[in-house]
Structure 1
Amino acid sequence: MRVTLFVDIAPETQQSDDSGPGRAPRKSRLRRLAVRAGLPLLSVVAFLVAWELVALSGIWNETFVPHLSTVWRAFVDMSTTHDGVRGYQGYFWWEHLYMTLRRVFAGVLIGVAVGVALGLAMGTIGWVRRLLEPWLTFLRALPPLAYFFLLVIWLGIDEAPKITLLALAALPPAAVATTAAVRAAPVGLVEAARALGATPREAIRDVVVPSALPETFTGIRLSVGIAYSSVVAAELFNGIPGIGGVVKDASNYNNTPVVLVGIFAIGFSGLIIDALLRAIEHRAVPWRGKI
């Protein structure tokens, strides 16, 4: 009888015990998710409310601070065909954004690839670092507009100067971050690998590169951000279709609602790209912060 009672009651007791601890982590995860998603949403709502209050107060002219409804109408106009006009300048806003993202992707891909390769060489070979570091510092100190007009003179007004400008903007952060990360690789681990018979190339591949990856990803994120901030400069000439070209063209006519739509499109797409980069970083270097 005791055995039967034990058998009958034990599963129920265990089920109730399992359900209790299981619910607590689940509630905790839901609470963390709500806080993580709710705080950014709350900040956006607060910003929009503050903007509308300023617009309603009439402190500034509507040319400078338009109502949210006016910005929304501009967004709808850029998303539809109205009065025989397709979007803005013959393209919908997502077509402008697509062209900008394509330019950014090409420029960042070139700039990051060259920057990481240079950083790896500068971090491992002293004379290469001494040779190239002044040029990287010189390029990093230059604002994009300082050399964009020179690129236009050399390469014309088509895609070449835009992609080159974005590549030059993306190169220094990736190179500097990779150089610093490679030079900070644990000397003890490198010497241990060499003592176990690893060649210099194998030590770099198996020890230096993995230890440098976290900081390299930080440099890549900085490169993407700097390239993205150079989009409007890159699309000054012949920038339509392109969201930076839209911002520049609309600003010529004081079309603030369209400028704001372009700014929001650049900003939100930048947030999405950075989130994707962080997800890739989390997958590629799961040991970051754990060693």
Structure 2
Amino acid sequence: MSTTPRLSPTDPVSLPVPGKAPASRRPRVAARVRHVALPLGSLLLFLLLWQLLAASGTWSETLVPPPSKVWDAFIDVSTTHDGTRGYNGTTLIEHLGISLRRIALGAGMGIAAGVVFGLLMGTVGWVRSLFEPWITFLRTLPPLAYFSLLIIWLGINEEPKVTLLAVAAFPPVAVSTTTAVAAVPKSLIEAARALGASRWDVVRDVVAPSALPETLTGIRLAVGVAYSSLVAAELVNGLPGIGGMVKDAANYNNTPVVLVGIIAIGVSGLIIDGLLLRLERVAVPWRGRA
């Protein structure tokens, strides 16, 4: 006999209200609103405090220009005005594009070398013993410490800039990959070998996928280090380039242009980091769930 309860005509029935989200969706909608509103609110608060500080007259406009002057500088370096194109004949987007190309070349080479060395050091003990102290030594050096040496060796054109960014990006990836490879469960490796996998098969099918999440974290760190080294890389003969623009404007106390360059570097860095986060979610969707 069926025991399924039946509704009588007098029982209340819950119907969806048009225009009103179900209760289960409300927390997600609220979380999304907070995710957008909090950063926007903090930005507006920062701009308000900046304007109040500039209007107080505590410091001169050379030191703390108001946001309106920085905006005017942004328009000037992004367009052609009074017969002058951008800054030093190059627009802001072109300066930024040239610097991003340098970062792509330099950080790309550093990341590739870091992954290879990380896999080698994580799987071959004597390779780790040989190279790990040198990588640690390199990781502790600030970029300016060896940039002058790179200029002596490679000149003042593109080579020292790209090399500096490559050297700066290499250690984070190498260290994170080495640590991740060394942490791969031995049981997985032994199981793969028991099934007849060669050493290359173990590295390709077991070690590399297991190390991928930490390697991607190292890549994010490497890109951040490369960005922080950008102005140093463009100290010499950096124009055109966003770091070179910042350095040249600082030589003339052109603070609005300096701030425009700093903001451009920061915003582009945020965008690239967001893209890397998106790549991480696609490449390793299991991270944080197992």
Task: Give the TM-score normalised by structure 2.
Answer: 0.92
Residue of structure 2 in register with 1:89 after alignment: 88
What are the superposed Cα offsets for residues 237-261 of structure 1, whole Å, 9 maximum, x if unpaired?
1111100001000100111100000
Residue of structure 2 in register with 1:212 after alignment: 211
Question: Are the equivalent residues in 1 in contact too, given 2:16–2:22 (CA < 8 A)?
Answer: no
SS at match of 1:63: coil
SS at match of 1:290: coil
| Displacement after TM superposition at 1:62 (Å) | 1.2
| Displacement after TM superposition at 1:278 (Å) | 0.4
Paired residues for 1:77-226 under 5 Å: 77-226=76-225
Task: Provide the C-alpha distance between the structure 1 equivalents of 2:191 and 2:234, rounded to a whole number of angstroms.
Answer: 51
Residue of structure 2 in register with 1:256 after alignment: 255
Counterpart of 1:51, as a letter, is W
SS at match of 1:221: helix
Task: Provide the C-alpha distance between the structure 2 equivalents of 1:178 and 1:112, rounded to a whole number of angstroms.
Answer: 10
Question: Are the equivalent residues in 1 in contact too, given 2:111–2:173 (CA < 8 A)?
Answer: yes
| Displacement after TM superposition at 1:22 (Å) | 7.0
Question: Are the equivalent residues in 1 in contact too, given 2:123–2:182 (CA < 8 A)?
Answer: yes
Q: Identity percentage over the alignment?
A: 62
**Unaligned 5+ residue runs, structure 1?**
1-5
| Displacement after TM superposition at 1:23 (Å) | 3.3
SS at match of 1:288: coil
Question: Are the equivalent residues in 1 in contact too, given 2:105–2:162 (CA < 8 A)?
Answer: yes
| Displacement after TM superposition at 1:30 (Å) | 2.6
SS at match of 1:59: coil
Question: Are the equivalent residues in 1 in contact too, given 2:154–2:160 (CA < 8 A)?
Answer: yes
Task: Provide the C-alpha distance between the structure 2 equivalents of 1:171 and 1:25, rounded to a whole number of angstroms.
Answer: 46
Task: Provide the C-alpha distance between the structure 2 equivalents of 1:21 and 1:280, rounded to a whole number of angstroms.
Answer: 35
Decide which moves more: 37-46 or 251-260.
Answer: 37-46
Counterpart of 2:31, as a letter, is R
Task: Provide the C-alpha distance between the structure 1 equivalents of 2:134 and 2:92, rounded to a whole number of angstroms.
Answer: 38
Decide which moves more: 207-216 or 29-38.
Answer: 29-38
Q: 1:60 to 1:283 in 2, by over 3 A?
A: same
Higher helix share: 1
Counterpart of 1:134, as a letter, is P
SS at match of 2:118: helix
What are the superposed Cα offsets for residues 215-239 of structure 1, whole Å, 9 maximum, x if unpaired?
0000000000000000000011111
SS at match of 1:23: coil
Counterpart of 1:197, as a letter, is G
Counterpart of 2:185, as a letter, is P
Task: Provide the C-alpha distance between the structure 2 equivalents of 1:282 and 1:73, rounded to a whole number of angstroms.
Answer: 39
Q: 1:209 to 1:22 in 2, by over 3 A?
A: farther
Q: 1:21 to 1:73 in 2, by over 3 A?
A: closer
Decide which moves more: 256-265 or 199-208.
Answer: 199-208
Question: Are the equivalent residues in 1 in contact too, given 2:184–2:207 (CA < 8 A)?
Answer: yes
Residue of structure 2 in register with 1:227 after alignment: 226
| Displacement after TM superposition at 1:82 (Å) | 1.4
Residue of structure 2 in register with 1:245 after alignment: 244
Task: Provide the C-alpha distance between the structure 2 equivalents of 1:20 and 1:161, rounded to a whole number of angstroms.
Answer: 60
1:61 correspondence with 2:60: yes
| Displacement after TM superposition at 1:28 (Å) | 3.5
Superposed CA RMSD in Å reads 2.0
Counterpart of 2:174, as a letter, is A
| Displacement after TM superposition at 1:97 (Å) | 0.3
**Unaligned 5+ residue runs, structure 2?**
1-5
* Paired residues, number: 280
